[in-house]
Amino acid sequence: QLNAVIFDLDGVITDTAEYHFIAWKQLAEQLGITFDRAFNEQLKGVSRMESLERILALGGQTDRYTMAEKEALAHQKNEHYKQLIARMTPDDLLPGMLDLLRELKRQNIKIGLASASKNAFTVIERLGIREYFDTIVDAAKVQNSKPHPEIFLTAAEQLRVDPSTCIGVEDAQAGVAAIKAANMFAIGVGDKEALKEADYIVETTADLTYDAIVRAFYRE
């Protein structure tokens, strides 16, 4: 039985995954490190500091900066990111997402948010969709980052539903792994190859209709 759908935010509900990419890419270039979209797949769903560590490792610069310098670099990226999200409006919801949220509400299925971002509340507010969520679990509320299942398990607990009755929706490798580790049904949005661990994959959110996800869930 399907009781809840728990969504990732960046790259699923809105295209902030692109803004994270732009902001990291600019910082990396400043440090003389080039990275492409394939590498960026490994940053999706990963916390701010861990993302910076991965970028520095890519450039062979792991030991070049002190902790204070790393914090300053992460801060600089976040300031750029905050500029990018400052102008977001409800028009920035990805195709089909508002319809899906509405239909889930209509069908009395609980809705959760499981986001690794400390900016999650700001983005949800800017999109004007706060009212749809029965719970929001963000980076501040968990110890372990994705692919650890904690963030999805915490959301299920707060919704008072068994994880096996939940669908998790993710655009990140680390996120799909977290959903599977939480014993939930994993829906991946995006690249088939990158998200191959998911139980069901759609290319874009336009394919994420209520009927499609319910059918996929019960087919298992």
- Please identify every residue annotated as catalytic: 8, 10
Q: How far is the CB of 188 from ligand BG6 (least distance, A)?
A: 14
Report what 118 binds from ligand BG6, Mg ion, none; CB cut-off 5-8 Å by kind: ligand BG6
Report what 117 binds from ligand BG6, Mg ion, none; CB cut-off 5-8 Å by kind: ligand BG6
Per CB under 5 A, does 11 bind Mg ion? yes
> Helices (H) and strands (E) in the chain — how many of each?
9, 6
Interface residues with ligand BG6 (CB under 6 A) are 9-10, 17, 20, 43-48, 51, 78, 115-119, 139, 172
Per CB under 5 A, does 172 bind Mg ion? yes
Q: How far is the CB of 10 from ligand BG6 (least distance, A)?
A: 4
- Phi/psi for 12 (5° steps) reads -115, -50
Please give the Cα distance from 188 to 172 (Å, whole number).
8
Please give the Cα distance from 73 to 28 (Å, whole number).
10
> Considering beta carbons, is residue 10 or 150 the nearer one to ligand BG6?
10
Kindly report each contact of residues 181-186 with a partner whose C-beta sits within 8 Å and lies 24 or more positions away, as own/partner.
181/147, 181/148, 181/149, 182/149, 182/152, 182/153, 182/156, 183/149, 184/6, 184/152, 184/156, 185/216, 185/217, 185/220
Report what 46 binds from ligand BG6, Mg ion, none; CB cut-off 5-8 Å by kind: ligand BG6
> Considering beta carbons, is residue 175 or 217 the nearer one to ligand BG6?
175
Please give the Cα distance from 171 to 156 (Å, whole number).
19
Both structure tokens of 145: 């980052």
CB neighbour list of residue 102: distance below 8 Å, 6 or more residues apart: 132
Per CB under 5 A, does 41 bind Mg ion? no
Report what 146 binds from Mg ion, ligand BG6, none; CB cut-off 5-8 Å by kind: none
> Considering beta carbons, is residue 7 or 200 the nearer one to ligand BG6?
7
Residue of 4, 5, 6, 10 interacting with Mg ion (CB under 5 A):
10
> Considering beta carbons, is residue 67 or 211 the nearer one to ligand BG6?
67
Can you tell me whether residue 107 is helix, strand or coil?
Answer: coil
